[in-house]
Amino acid sequence: MGNEEAVYFSRGLTELTLSFHIIFATIGVGIPLMIMIAQWVGIKKQDEHYILLARRWTRGFVITVAVGVVTGTAIGLQLSLLWPNFMQLAGNVIALPLFMEVFAFFFEAIFLGIYLYTWDRFENQKKHMLLLIPVAAGASFSAVFITIVNSFMNSPRGFDIVNGQLVNINPILAMFNPAMPTKVTHVLATSYMTAAFLLAAIGAYRLVKGSNHVYHKKGLFLTMKMGLLFSIITAILGDFSGKYLAEYQPEKLAAAEWHFETEEGAPLMMYGVLDNGEVKYALTIPFGLSILAHSNPKAEVIGLNEFAEDEIPPLYIHYLFDTMVTIGMLMIGISFVFLLGFWRRWRFVLTKSFLWIVVFGGPLSFLAIEAGWWLAEVGRQPWILRGIMRTSEAATTSGQVDTMLLLFAGLYLILGIGSMVVLTRMFRKNTVEQELADRASDKAGETV
């Protein structure tokens, strides 16, 4: 196997692992916050339904955490196994947040173990809820630290290269690089948003399937509120991301927007096709790109013509950008209409057809997450460390990457099927109605 093949398969394996892991990572970051909110509302209102929401979400969460942990271990090791040259270089500058991530994760793991096994152990329910704070904080901080590493790959800072040697290394400066604020906040907000829409989709699905229980309606209402909140925040942060890109990674923005020539008052192109370098059938928003890039309709936006041919990312990332943005906007719309309808008692938001839209919103949000990460990673090509090291220089020289790709594909298949089977079985066997009745009789038994 020549080294080009090793690079090719290393990219394939990394993409596969990340694409699989990010599903569970997103759930892992977002769900604890939702559980916390539900439990808090439940304690405040003394409403058994919200408490049960928290309990049931927790049960599902444990399964996804397990898959998230093991695939996270896989990607952590694959960084060194597949990209040894990159880690050798980057380890000198960006090892600190990777190291801190382990602590955040450790913290989360310990308290998750405690939280799981102490339901009903405390007289005061609030004490039990407090145990969830380190879980949620640990999960979110894991995301923060890992995203910092990714932002460093996009805008490496905190060192100088003199005669091929790394000098003046400053780990803190490397962490607080220009890409860090927009990336970290974007990852967090989208995780919360996606988790909310996932839970909303589950509630909506139960309602579609004939349950008319108020439990599901409460859950749906709560998660749609969270979904709307975080999808609006995501949209605002997305705008900041555009400004960051225009300033620090103009080639990424230009490739994503098919912006070929530097010009003032640049329009934003959505969708469309490329025909010999011409954009056709695109939805054009006049001055849109200038506004996105610089908040000024007249501003100049750098085009791809300013960059060498071998330093621009592939142009298909345009569609990834479109997918991500379209779904994001769609979700704002769906949740807004739903909530407005819920407040104003419009019947149609609880009809089957509208609920189906909410159901599909769950998987769609995950598609947006995937598209966003592919955009982030493919959009950085040909660099693994922008401007410093090319992806092709970073990969392993081992000849067995193709076999490993097959093995890991098999693993993710097993884990994917396994987690789906287990999750459906868990909740189908133990219905909400059944569980509410059981808990009520338990309570009655205690007071007698």
Partner 1 sequence: MNLEFIGIFVLWLFLFGYVMVASIDFGAGFFNAYVTLTGKQHILSKIIQRYLSPVWEVTNVFLVFFFVGIVGFFPRTAYYYGTTLLVPVSIAIILLAIRGSYYAFTTYGGLKHKRYTYMYGLTGLFIPASLSIVLTISEGGFVTNETPGPALNYWDLFTSPLTWSIVVLSLTAVLFISAVFLTWYAHEAKDEHATNLLRRYALIWAGPMILTASGIVVELHAHNPEHYARLMDVWWLFILSVALFIGTVYLLWKRQAYGTAFGLLTGQFFLAFFGYGIAHYPYLLYPYLTIYDSFTNEAMAIALIIAFVAGLGLLLPSLYLLLRLFLFNKEYVQGKRNDHT
**Positions in 272-331 near partner 1 (CB under 8 A):** none
Stretch that binds partner 1, among 84-92, 208-216, 329-337, 377-385 (CB under 8 A): 84-92
Q: Which of 4, 44, 45, 77 touches partner 1 (CB under 8 A)? A: 77
Which residue, 118 or 284, has its beta carbon nearer to partner 1? 118
- Give CA–CA dist 328/365, Å, rounded: 7
Work out whether 436 is an interface residue with partner 1 (CB under 8 A). Answer: no
- Least CB distance to partner 1 at residue 102 (A): 5
157 within 8 A of 181, measured Cβ to Cβ: no
Find the distance separating the first CA and the last CA of the chain, reported in whole Å.
Answer: 74
Work out whether 120 is an interface residue with partner 1 (CB under 8 A). Answer: yes
Residues 6+ apart with CB under 8 A from 323: 367, 368, 371
Work out whether 129 is an interface residue with partner 1 (CB under 8 A). Answer: no
Work out whether 223 is an interface residue with partner 1 (CB under 8 A). Answer: no
Stretch that binds partner 1, among 215-223, 294-302, 340-348, 421-429 (CB under 8 A): 421-429
- Least CB distance to partner 1 at residue 106 (A): 5
Instruction: Report how far Cα 70 is from the mean position of its chain's Cα atoms.
Output: 17
- Least CB distance to partner 1 at residue 192 (A): 22
Please confirm whether the linkage preceding 250 is cis (ω < 30° from 0).
Answer: no
**Binders of partner 1: how many residues, by CB under 8 A?**
81
Q: Which of 163, 281, 429, 445 touches partner 1 (CB under 8 A)? A: 429
Work out whether 361 is an interface residue with partner 1 (CB under 8 A). Answer: no
Q: Which of 44, 209, 425, 443 touches partner 1 (CB under 8 A)? A: 425
Stretch that binds partner 1, among 94-102, 263-271, 356-364, 369-377 (CB under 8 A): 94-102
Work out whether 70 is an interface residue with partner 1 (CB under 8 A). Answer: yes
- Give CA–CA dist 56/203, Å, rounded: 12
Work out whether 160 is an interface residue with partner 1 (CB under 8 A). Answer: no
Count Cβ neighbours within 10 Å for each residue of 288-313 and write b for 16 or more, e otherwise.
bbbbbbbeeeebebbbbeeeeeeebb
Work out whether 81 is an interface residue with partner 1 (CB under 8 A). Answer: yes
Work out whether 363 is an interface residue with partner 1 (CB under 8 A). Answer: no
Site for partner 1 in 26-65 (CB under 8 A): 55, 58-59, 62-63, 65
Which residue, 347 or 429, has its beta carbon nearer to partner 1? 429
Work out whether 119 is an interface residue with partner 1 (CB under 8 A). Answer: yes
Q: Which of 117, 345, 348, 444 touches partner 1 (CB under 8 A)? A: 117
Work out whether 127 is an interface residue with partner 1 (CB under 8 A). Answer: no
Q: What is the pattern of x (binds partner 1, CB under 8 A) and - over residues 238-277?
A: ----------------------------------------
Work out whether 12 is an interface residue with partner 1 (CB under 8 A). Answer: no
Work out whether 142 is an interface residue with partner 1 (CB under 8 A). Answer: no
- Least CB distance to partner 1 at residue 363 (A): 21
Work out whether 443 is an interface residue with partner 1 (CB under 8 A). Answer: no
Site for partner 1 in 162-191 (CB under 8 A): 166, 169-172
Q: Which of 44, 45, 110, 343 touches partner 1 (CB under 8 A)? A: 110
- Give CA–CA dist 314/3, Å, rounded: 21
Work out whether 121 is an interface residue with partner 1 (CB under 8 A). Answer: yes
